[in-house]
């Protein structure tokens, strides 16, 4: 009896390890690693461009402002959108695509995956897929919320043919109100193949966060030009 109990506990512990240990893949943003074997998760591209990516939209306030600024600066970006917000703002998704940018998925709800079961993760990704399908988008790239990717996250993404991607340079707009500081933080990791993270919605961070990132874009554009780097979409960065 005791042996059976110990065996069951051991199996449960092993299952928990398989589920939660992969969340450490977020550490890849602080290394030179471009991707895990089999493209299980990616932080950088193999080409010479830079992918500017924007999370947590679409937002009726932030997203149009970013689209206008990108147009003015002559930059292209990739928007990782939440399915729940796509359902509320389908026209904004169409506008993103109409302006020549790429739309990918950020899941359906903005929740921590470490606290969710594999079944919940599967349902969340399916809901995101359904929301985007309703507006004519079939995503190829997937960014887990909060950069948390458990075994269930990676498996559910792979089953849908999605390529998980995190980032190699981020603005950390939630930690400052100074656009120059955001641009400087990005600039320290700006290099060929970089995946840059900013946010076009402040619903999951400090109020006004997206405005800080928006005002940092001009400096980021100057930095790209100075280094001879070109902004590209995720599909262009990693065909």
- Phi/psi of residue 176, nearest 5 degrees: -155, 160
As a whole number, mean pLDDT of residues 10-27 equals: 46
> Among all residues, which ones are annotated catalytic?
55, 199
Residue 26, both tokens: 């977020």
Q: What is the pLDDT of residues 116-142, one digit of tens each?
A: 999 999 999 999 999 999 999 999 999
Kindly list the structural domains of the chain, giving each domain's residue range(s) and its CATH number in brackets, ordered by start. 2-237 (3.20.20.370)
DSSP notation for 121-156 = HHHHHHHHHHHHHTTT---SEE--GGG---HHHHHH
The CA-CA-CA angle for residues 139, 144, 145, to 5°, reads: 120
Q: How far is CA 78 from CA 113, 118, 159, 176, 227, in A?
A: 23, 27, 22, 23, 21
Question: In terms of C-beta density within 10 A (0-12 exposed, 13-18 middle, 19 or more buried), how is residue 8 classed?
Answer: exposed
Nearest-CA neighbor of 166 among 224, 225, 113?
A: 113
Per-residue pLDDT at 142:
98
As a whole number, mean pLDDT of residues 59-71 equals: 98
DSSP notation for 26-55 = GGGGGSS--B-GGGSSBSS-SSS-EEEEEE
Q: What is the pLDDT of residues 38-60, one digit of tens each?
A: 888 999 998 789 999 999 999 99
Residue 156 pLDDT > 50? yes
Model's pTM, two decimal places?
0.90
Residue identified by tokens 């939209």 is 57
Nearest-CA neighbor of 41 among 157, 145, 172, 122?
A: 157
CA dihedral for 191, 195, 200, 204, sign (positive or negative): negative
Per-residue pLDDT at 6:
41
């Amino acid at each position: 009896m005791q042996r059976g109990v110990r065996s069951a506990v051991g199996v449960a512990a092993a299952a928990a390890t398989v589920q939660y240990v992969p969340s450490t893949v977020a550490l890849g943003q602080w290394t030179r690693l471009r991707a895990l074997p089999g493209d299980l998760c990616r932080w950088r591209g193999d080409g010479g461009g830079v992918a500017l990516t924007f999370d947590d939209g679409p937002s009726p306030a932030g997203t149009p402002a970013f689209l206008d600024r990108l147009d003015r600066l002559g930059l292209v970006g990739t928007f990782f959108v939440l399915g729940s917000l796509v359902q509320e703002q389908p026209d904004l998704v169409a506008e993103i695509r109409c302006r020549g940018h790429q739309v990918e998925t950020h899941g359906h709800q903005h929740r921590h995956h470490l606290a969710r079961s594999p079944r919940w993760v599967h349902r969340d990704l399916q809901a995101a897929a359904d929301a985007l399908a309703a507006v004519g988008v079939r995503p190829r790239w997937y960014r887990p919320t909060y950069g948390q990717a458990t075994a269930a996250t990676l498996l559910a993404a792979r089953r849908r043919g999605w390529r998980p991607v995190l980032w190699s340079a981020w603005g950390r707009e939630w930690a400052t109100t100074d656009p120059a500081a955001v641009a400087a933080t990005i600039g320290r990791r700006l290099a060929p193949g970089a995946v840059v993270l900013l946010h076009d919605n402040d619903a999951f961070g400090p109020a006004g966060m997206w405005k800080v990132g928006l005002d940092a874009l001009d400096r980021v554009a100057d930095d790209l030009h100075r280094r001879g780097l070109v902004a590209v979409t995720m599909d262009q960065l990693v065909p």
